[in-house]
Amino acid sequence: MDLLNTLVDKGLRREMPTREEALAVLATSDDDVLDVVAAAGKVRRHWFGRRVKLNYLINMKSGLCPEDCSYCSQRLGSTAGILKYTWLKPDEASQAAAAGLAGGAKRVCLVASGRGPTDRDVDRVSETIKTIKDQNEDVEVCACLGLLSDGQAERLREAGADAYNHNLNTSEATYGDITTTHTYADRVDTVQKAHAAGLSACSGLIAGMGESDEDLVDVVFSLRSLDPDSVPVNFLIPFEGTPLAKEWNLTPQRCLRILAMVRFVCPDVEVRIAGGREVHLRTMQPLALNLANSIFLGDYLTSEGQAGKADLEMIADAGFEVEGAGEVTLPEHRAAAGGGCGSHAEAGCGSGCGGHESAGCGSHEGGGVCGSAAAAAPAESAAPVAAPVAGEARTDLVAVRRRGTGTDLAPNA
């Protein structure tokens, strides 16, 4: 296919595709999806080899957000039955970080719900960053706290933060359809503040909210112009109790095409599969490793995902390897240009958090499926299971997080 050959050549040269070429990737048929994956996989392997970076999410403060982001289970007015708790203490966050690092994670992402941090919140998070780094050698720390005021990014950097996450989420033209309590320009401003402070900027998107192909291309082109080191790609998890609960618009093939388009537009950037991969990619997750070079380990902010052990097995079985703590994530030319430690945070919920929250910003759960209790009634008592139908809503794969931070149960890592 001439389109794919052209895009591979451009990706190897770090040349921007045209808008028409990016749209053409999204318009390819399901019959061609393996060709699309193979082509984008050449670009991924050229810049990142077969390494997969693991990241671990810590939900520092859950629920009760004053923002109205339609996709978020922590939003104002959400009736989703999520965990709600106030700030973790530094030692609690450090213990959670240790669990993720023991599971193979290289980066810890500190996420808090809310519009943005107060100066006292920045002090609190700064203390947490120092505690984590004192107790866990070589860890990368990314903060995701919402909209930043002047000087706050610099204070986080001084405290030892390596990166800051704040997602654009969708195109500027449609941003007002999903959030009214802050603007697209507010988000851009925060990414720019992180850049200016010397933090590795992380900014991504959420797919599956009813957006058009044009919207997806617009937001990814906007991300390229902001030049983050890391682009998390979230897939909407339609949480009951949120305005987008009925938006089931994604198939595994659609998700693969979106990831391929992001890779072609951002060839040498860390592309992370974040919230929703278990729900929408499902058994096609291993194929997506040919497109993205980064995933989350453990559970999401408010939902559960795939078992951490299952992730490690998936990476090995697909012929990839976990990126080590001593390896630099980004290609040499990006790392030398000040790309921080080589990657960033998660995805981005409301204003404050960093992940598509309903999906969570990014990690997994305890049983290969995305629900905590998906394991194991005795075979003799199990009811017959109907075969899934292509394109149907998989509400059975959405599970509220009930373990880890904010609970007395061990985290999934």
Going along 8-85, which residue ranges are E strands?
A: 51-61
- Quote the CA–CA distance of 160 and 137 in Å, as a whole number: 12
259: helix, strand or coil: helix
CA dihedral of residues 154, 156, 161, 162 (deg, nearest 10): -30
Q: Which of 44, 257, 272, 403 is catalytic?
A: 272
Is residue 142 among the annotated active site residues? yes
From the annotation, which residues make up the binding site for [4Fe-4S] cluster? 65, 69, 72
- Tell me the β-bridge partners of 206: 234
**Active-site entry in 44, 107, 124, 142:** 142
The verdict on whether 202 is a catalytic residue reads: yes
Question: Is there a catalytic annotation at residue 65?
Answer: yes
Indicate the annotated binding residues for [2Fe-2S] cluster: 109, 142, 202, 272
- List 109, 341, 361, 370, catalytic entry: 109
Q: Which helix (H) or strand (E) element contains residue 206?
A: strand 205-207
69 in catalytic set = yes
- Annotated active-site residue in 44, 187, 202, 266: 202
Residues in CB range of 169: below 8 A, 6 or more apart: 69, 71, 175, 178, 179, 187, 204, 205, 206, 219, 348, 356
Is 272 known to be catalytic?
Answer: yes
Detail the residues annotated as belonging to a binding site: 65, 69, 72, 109, 142, 202, 272
Q: Does residue 370 carry a catalytic annotation?
A: no
SS3 state of residue 240: coil
User: Annotated catalytic residue: which of 44, 69, 75, 254?
Assistant: 69
The tokens for 98 are: 């240790």
Catalytic residue flag (residue 353): no
Distance CA(378)–CA(385), nearest Å, equals 14
Neighbours of 245 (CB within 10 A): 20
Report the distance separating Cα 84 and Cα 64, nearest Å. Answer: 7
Torsion of CA 88, 155, 184, 206, to 10 degrees: -50
Q: What is the DSSP string of 326-372?
A: TS-SS-HHHHHTT-TTS-------SSS-SSBTTTBSS---SSSSSST
Annotated catalytic residues are 65, 69, 72, 109, 142, 202, 272
